[in-house]
Amino acid sequence: MKKLINDPFDMVEEMVDGFLSANDDIVKRVGRRSIARVTSPIDGKVGIVVGGGSGHLPAFAGYVGQGMADGAAFGNVFASPPARPVVEATTAVDSGAGVLYLYGNYAGDCLNFDKAQDQCREMGMDVRTVVLNDDVASAPIDQADRRRGIGGLFWVFRITGAKAEQMASLDEVFEIATRANANTRTVGVGLTSCTVPANGRPTFHLEEDEMELGLGIHGEPGIKRQKVAPVDDIVEAMMDMILGDLDYSGSEVALSVNGLGGTPAEELYVVYRKAKEICDANGLRVRHKNVGEMVTALEMAGASISLVRLDDEMSALLDSTVNTCMYKKP
């Protein structure tokens, strides 16, 4: 394992230090592993708190800022944060208007965020939660509550954050998060493993000619290991899974191609080209798009495609200005 780190057990600590130092115009520290916008709490605004394991930047802390989240909690690499930093972030962003938790559906995150929610409610804060589960490959549609949250988190954070920025109520913010999540689907593909720094060895092994379809964002094996193929074929398989899972017909959509960490932007654009072509062929109007790294898995090579079925409100919200630590748009 070769990484630009010191002691692997210090990596998250040092990363948080660097992150805060590099983004001090947007965020402040509110605990050892928790941050909030410098302007938090914002009078009358519902606070959005996101979080999860480290190793997924820009998710989660990278999305704190105007138009997305208000606070975030950092976990160890690929491990949900404990309740404490979540409580710290919640306390820091709560203006009295309430706080919404948004995170991916993993057992650890559910346990820890629920505990934080309980504690914060006991302290008198109005906290609600929407657990995100966009990953088509992780369970059949009739067990959607077992699906995990991956690259589509980006869109739900973005739509919900834009709504909260308009000073919507907690009910409204909760509702749109639920709606955005229900209309978001993602499928990923992995070409290589990643290495958890404090472990030091790749999590799994793929042969030189193998890829994993349906891969998550932690290096967990996907649903199917197969031979690598021309990317157009791979994208077709991914889009088939997405389009077969939700009725997008005739909709406006948001389309994103997310790099898992080790795949160059050049390849992501090649993926986008084909995904867009398939949208066009299916009569979907791509109104919003994003190509780049949104929810990563350390240095894993691979990509995921997310497709959101938009309605007018979601589409309009995506036009708003966003200025977070790692995602900005004038």
Partner 1 sequence: MPTLTGDSVRLLLEQVAIDVESNKDFLCDLDGEVGDGDHGVSMTIGMRAVRRAMDDLPPDPSVEQAFQAASDAYAIEVGATIGPLYEVAFAAAAEACSGKADVSSVSDWVQIYQAMFDAIQQLGGAELGDKTLLDSFHPAIEKLASLEGEDLVSSLEQAAVTARGAAEATKDLKPMKGRASRLADRAVGHQDAGATSLAIILESVAAFAANVRS
Ligand X SMILES: Nc1ncnc2c1ncn2[C@@H]1O[C@H](COP(=O)(O)OP(=O)(O)O)[C@@H](O)[C@H]1O
Active site residue 218: yes
The active-site residue, picked from 45, 218, 274, 309, is: 218
The first and second tokens of residue 65, run together, are 């800022």
Residue type, 266: E
In angstroms, the CA 66 to CA 36 distance is 11
H or E element in which residue 98 lies: none
Of the candidates 19, 78, 103, 174, which one interacts with partner 1 according to CB under 8 A?
A: 78
Task: Classify residue 22 by its DSSP letter.
Answer: H
Which residues neighbour 234 within 8 Å (Cβ) at sequence distance 6 or greater?
Answer: 189, 211, 213, 228
H or E element in which residue 28 lies: strand 27-31
Angstrom CA distances, 142 to 68, 139, 187, 215, 221, stand at 30, 8, 17, 20, 22
Of the candidates 69, 83, 102, 150, which one interacts with partner 1 according to CB under 8 A?
A: 83
Selection from partner 1, a copy of itself, Mg ion, none that 198 binds (CB < 5 to 8 A by kind) is partner 1
Q: Is 316 in the site for a copy of itself (CB under 8 A)?
A: no
Using the structure block, give the residue that is written with the tokens 């920025």. 165
Q: Is 55 in the site for a copy of itself (CB under 8 A)?
A: yes
Q: Is 232 in the site for a copy of itself (CB under 8 A)?
A: yes
Q: Is 261 in the site for a copy of itself (CB under 8 A)?
A: yes
Task: Classify residue 66 by its DSSP letter.
Answer: E
Q: Is 185 in the site for partner 1 (CB under 8 A)?
A: no
> Please, what is the Cα angle at 245 between 239 and 251, to 5 degrees?
75
Q: Where are the beta strands (DSSP E) in the chain?
A: 27-31, 34-37, 47-54, 65-66, 71-77, 99-104, 127-132, 184-190, 210-213, 224-227, 252-259, 285-292, 302-310, 322-324, 328-329
Q: Is 218 in the site for partner 1 (CB under 8 A)?
A: yes
Nearer to Mg ion, 61 or 93 (CB): 61
Nearer to partner 1, 221 or 292 (CB): 221
Residues 42-81 that bind Mg ion (CB under 5 A): 78-79
Using the structure block, give the residue that is written with the tokens 């649903």. 223
Of the candidates 72, 100, 213, 234, which one interacts with a copy of itself according to CB under 8 A?
A: 234
In angstroms, the CA 9 to CA 197 distance is 8
Of the candidates 27, 127, 191, 295, which one interacts with a copy of itself according to CB under 8 A?
A: 191
Selection from partner 1, a copy of itself, ligand X, none that 196 binds (CB < 5 to 8 A by kind) is partner 1
Least Cβ distance, residue 92 to partner 1 (angstroms): 18
Say whether 207 sits in a helix, a strand or coil: coil
Of the candidates 8, 96, 108, 262, which one interacts with ligand X according to CB under 6 A?
A: 108
Of the candidates 107, 142, 227, 247, which one interacts with ligand X according to CB under 6 A?
A: 107
Residues that bind ligand X (CB under 6 A): 79, 107-108
Residues that bind a copy of itself (CB under 8 A): 2-7, 11-12, 14-19, 21-22, 54-55, 57-58, 62, 66, 77, 189, 191-192, 208-209, 211, 228, 230-232, 234, 261-274, 276, 289, 291-293, 296, 298-299, 301-303, 321, 323, 326, 328-330
